[in-house]
Amino acid sequence: MPTLATTVDGLKLPNPFVIGSGPPGTNLNVISKAFKEGWGAVIAKTVSLDASKVINVSPRYGKLHSSDGKEVIGWENIELISDRPFRLWEDEFKRCKDMHPKGILIASIMEEYEKDRWVELVERSQACGVDGFELNFSCPHGLPERKMGAAMGQDPEVLERVCGWVKGASKIPFWAKMTPNITHIEDPSRAALRGGATGIAAINTIRSVIGVNLETLRPEPSVEGYTTPGGYSSRAVKPIALRMVMEVAQLIRSEFPGRSLSAIGGVENGRDAAEFILLGGDTVQVCTGVMKFGYEMVKPMCDELLAFMDKHKFEALADFKGKALPYFTTHADLVKRQTERKAAQKAAAAAAPAKKMVQTDGEWSGDDFVKQSNDLAW
Ligand SMILES: Cc1cc2nc3c(=O)[nH]c(=O)nc-3n(C[C@H](O)[C@H](O)[C@H](O)COP(=O)(O)O)c2cc1C
């Protein structure tokens, strides 16, 4: 019988499903609900020392629906970090650990670029008994205006220094959460790991504009007739997240073996999770999925992941973590492999010709265009 139980950075999780920082971990009530439903760990909503600077607006979400209007495939938010006072959070962190001593509670923290502020946030949070930290270097909206969030995550030098401050003050593991709003995610990830981060979490939301209202001719979500670009999440971001998780996993494998990776972005079921683990994730976070389907979704997710493991005869997550990673290569290498394979199979191919697919750009035809496109897909 396969097991989903896993130990990451010394933290014992009953399964790899972690509540991602955001509304699903925004106060003790909802965090308790997550533990009761069986989530492997909870990352609380990002906190800072002075919540009085955090002022949210409404509406603050915008959704992108499938063409039949039945499904939400993309979700934009312009929500800030927690607007609740830090002393309230200190009390709730303590009570949460009293109520759920075995529940893995991770505090997501963010501060301005000042060593004393980061150290204070770390020391006060860990005094409440939280099990780990996630450093939010990645919120793409609002906070960068104060040089926080993604503004830090886009600057490897700043990132390395802040991770060093946290390393000096923290007695518990900490993950640096990366922004996808950058060309090469390896650069800030390397800086965070050099600075002493125990692991990387990726990705936060993608800077976006969800749409323009064709009646009012204004961008959405509209706040007093105006908007600001927000963070994109949910199913639509999964391919981008998979690519970035793969890149971070390759970096960890080659330069920082033993560091952990928490994969995030568009996860909604156990099969999505299996894909992220195959690309190197130790844990898999879900944020928007919980807002769409509720905390109960963790049970079918566990069942689906177990069914996948059973099918492939994997006993533990470690049996397939990173198993798909060796199969990424360059385009030139793909051409070489295909040329070699074709040469080797030339005789057999002549006997049983393969489906006719476009080989060179001159073969595209206006009449068969859609069919030709489909034939080229896997
Ligand atoms: C409404 C909303 C609020 C969020 N707030 C935070 C936050 O406070 N801190 C943080 O690190 N990430 C925050 N995120 C980002 C998520 O944790 C996650 O990285 C991202 O949404 C991608 O995962 P998903 O597709 O499972 O939602 C938020 C996301 C949403 C949708």
| Annotation says 163 is catalytic | no
Q: Is 81 in the pocket of ligand 1 (CB under 6 A)?
A: yes
Answer whether residue 300 shows pLDDT above 90. yes
CA gap 128, 99 in Å, rounded? 13
CA gap 205, 278 in Å, rounded? 22
Residue 175 — very low, low, confident or very high, per pLDDT cuts 50/70/90? very high
Phi first, then psi: give them for residue 313, nearest 5 degrees: 60, 40
pLDDT for 140 equals 81
* Sequence-distant (≥ 6) Cβ neighbours of residue 367 within 8 angstroms: none
Answer whether residue 356 shows pLDDT above 90. no
b/e string for 365-375 if b means 16 or more Cβ within 10 A? eeeeeeeeeee
Answer whether residue 141 shows pLDDT above 90. no
CA gap 26, 45 in Å, rounded? 5
Q: Is 234 in the pocket of ligand 1 (CB under 6 A)?
A: yes
pLDDT for 354 equals 61
Q: Is 267 in the pocket of ligand 1 (CB under 6 A)?
A: yes
> Residue 303 CA to chain centroid, in angstroms?
21
Distance 204 CA to ligand 1 centre (A): 6
Answer whether residue 64 shows pLDDT above 90. yes
Q: Is 177 in the pocket of ligand 1 (CB under 6 A)?
A: yes
For 330-350, what is each residue's pLDDT tens digit? 999 999 999 999 999 887 767
Closest CA to 279 of 303, 306, 250: 250
For 195-209, what is each residue's pLDDT tens digit? 999 999 999 999 999
Q: Which atom of ligand 1 is nearest to the CA of 46?
A: 8
b/e string for 43-56 if b means 16 or more Cβ within 10 A? bbbbbbbebeebee
Q: Take residue 329 and report the two structure tokens written for it.
A: 């290569």
